[in-house]
Chain A
Amino acid sequence: MTEGEIILGCKAQNRIAQKLFVEEYSRYLFAVCRRYIYDQELAKDCLQESLVEILQKIGKYNEEGKFKSWIATITVRKCLRQIKAIKKHQYTEMESVTEPGCEDKTLLKLEHNDVMKFINTLPENYRIVINMYLVEGFSHKEISDELGINESSSRSILTRAKKMINKAFEDEKMKVVYKNKKKLIS
């Protein structure tokens, strides 16, 4: 079954098409959820709710944009709602949010595991903005609307996050120099 046939079947609320849709796209959407929500079980819950919402709203999909982007957007929004719902921290905790330290990050490599490790150590706002801007392709305006923050805040978070990426994933050459320095000092 092609993507178009699956969409048509889901629009007609065909059970087989719906099942095929879940089999075809759930892994992709699960990855989206995991990028936003570190906890695996919560990410699964979020995915389940997203799939239900997509199957209910699929009639509104007008086939103008890419289907994958459309379903990813719904999933991202669901993840953001989920994050808001589980966020029960106090005001003082928000104040104590600081930029993560960079000591260990010099050892990170630009590989799957390290990237995920890095993203999960980032503060929530940073993680969300990086994902939304870099991966999902949201504009700062859209990010500010979704998160209820200023557009300028979104920009500054991204700038700082990019600095952190550049710092954490330093070049191999730089690392050697640093390591040598360390050895020298010790």
Chain B
Amino acid sequence: MELNNKEQKFKDILADVDFDLDTEEMWSAVSNDLEKKKKRRFFIWLFPLLICCFTLGGVISYNVLNSKTKTPLSNNTNFNQEEKNQIVTKEKLSSTSLEKEKSQEALLTIEGNAQSLSKSELVQNKLTGKKVINNYLDQNIINNSSINSSFGRKPNKQNNILSNKIILEQLPFKTIEEVTEKNYNEATDKNTNTIVSNNIYNLSNRNISLKNQQKRSTILTLNIAEPEVIIHKKRKNTLFITLHSGVLKNNFKHDIGQINSEFDSRILEKDSGVYANATDLSLGIETKKHWRFFTGISYANAVSRFYDDSVISSTKEIQGITTIYNGVETSGQITETTINYNDIQWYRQQKQLDIHFGVSKSLLSLGNIQVVPETVVAYNINSVNSGYYYEEENQTITKFKTGESNPYKNNVGLKVQFGLGIEYSLKSVNIGLKGIYRNTISHITTQNYFLPIKNSQYGLQLSVAYRPTWEKV
């Protein structure tokens, strides 16, 4: 926009305007403020720091407690009868009949009563420096006594050959047909991590009388140089911490039916909800059946906007210039038009802090993706209001600041929330996107206010869940 000379001169004068100021006084005030802000900054950081410390401490202590309850199986030779159920030992067969078959190098035997072994049980073994891992054992047990007989051993009721299926997710393995005595020995000698396994060990082919032949035995032998044990746990209750953050649109409804006066409700049409931030922090537990129970705190800013950009014009007649012509006085009239350009944009904010309790369940799993519906009940701890409210008598809107009297409740009570989220699972972190609808059960205004308002919010939140002990099965 170009400026004419007058406007340019006006601008120059305005830009060069100067006023007296005591700079010494100003500096002392500024330096005091700077000191205060420095101190305040420390306290601002203190609170989030404490939250981080508590969270971290909780996670660590939870892990420590968890690890104490899971004593690793070791030195299984000293196990009692029950513990023996979780032991698989490797035994090299000396039977000549077996030696004929090069493919049958090793046989897993079980010390103890293996009948109680279940598929989901962890088999973790350390015997004579060797370990058997990653076994999910079938419940079909082959009594080893007959085998022992055929091997020329004394029948031992406690020695059973276990028909099992070996699940090796990542480690390379060879079938027994591929393994010769030679390479078995090589593998043993080299003390490598080679897994010698099979999924076919048909005892009937060996003329061995067995009680349960219907299942093929699976043999796993493993030499592991490192004393590390890969543990596959069965799924169990899991602690998690979730942070949701996103935007919610305020969706409120004026209860016009309760207005007893002649309040012009058309003014309410200029009032509408807008999007604002909402953040939840939850701590919860996920059960074996994928049910999640959680509790935490929620912060939401419910914002509405009064927007008026209407143009109001009014005209009136005013007296104009009076002219006298030939002694006759004529008073002139001027029509004065006043145009008001309304440009009003006020915001009403309700900053709400709630505690919530919720339940959700992973209903649908597609690989790492889960669909999780949830239901939450929240209770408002505190609401801080600022903005505007309507006045019945004068048909006006009054602005107010935080702390000033207003008709909005400081505690809006119970809320219910329904949500549906999609989550993507990583190793110990879930990330997700959730759509929610939150409804405040009672009115957000006090009882003596002439215009009750109901409030609800809907929107989207991103979530990050941390699961310290979570592992995929």
Contact = CB atoms under 8 A, between A and B. Distances in A.
B40 to A, nearest CB: 11
Interface stretch (A1-9, A14-22, A59-67, A74-82): A14-22
A107 interface: no
**Best-surrounded residue of B9, B11, B26, B321 (most CB of chain A within 10 A):** B26
A162 interface: yes
Nearest to A91: B397
A92 B10 contact: no
Contact of B30 (A52, A92, A110): A52
**Best-surrounded residue of A90, A111, A133, A150 (most CB of chain B within 10 A):** A90
A1 B55 CA distance: 49
B405 interface: no
Contact of A22 (B26, B321, B397): B26
B268 to A, nearest CB: 13
A135 B14 contact: yes
A92 B29 CA distance: 38
Contacts of A71: none
Interface stretch (B16-24, B236-244, B364-372): B16-24
A30 B19 contact: yes
B317 interface: no
Contact of A110 (B3, B6, B342): B6
Contacts of A121: none
A135 B8 CA distance: 10
B319 to A, nearest CB: 13
A110 B10 contact: yes
Given A31-B18, A35-B17, A97 B340 contact: yes
Contact of A23 (B9, B27, B399): B27
Nearest to B399: A88
Interface in B412-471: none
A137 to B, nearest CB: 10
B13 A149 contact: no
B101 interface: no
A133 B1 CA distance: 10
A134 interface: yes
A161 to B, nearest CB: 10
Nearest to A140: B1
Given A95-B312, A158-B1, A115 B18 contact: no
A156 interface: yes
A49 B33 CA distance: 8
B262 to A, nearest CB: 17
11 contacts: A19-B31, A23-B23, A51-B30, A52-B33, A55-B30, A92-B394, A94-B342, A95-B340, A110-B10, A115-B13, A185-B322
The 9 closest A-B pairs by CB, nearest first: A91-B397, A134-B11, A22-B27, A52-B33, A115-B13, A148-B345, A30-B21, A23-B23, A51-B30
Given A47-B26, A56-B34, A110-B6, 7 more contacts: A26-B27, A51-B30, A52-B34, A55-B34, A91-B344, A125-B343, A166-B4
Interface of B: 1, 3-4, 6-7, 9-11, 13-19, 21, 23, 26-27, 29-31, 33-34, 37, 309, 312, 321-322, 338, 340-345, 394, 396-399, 401
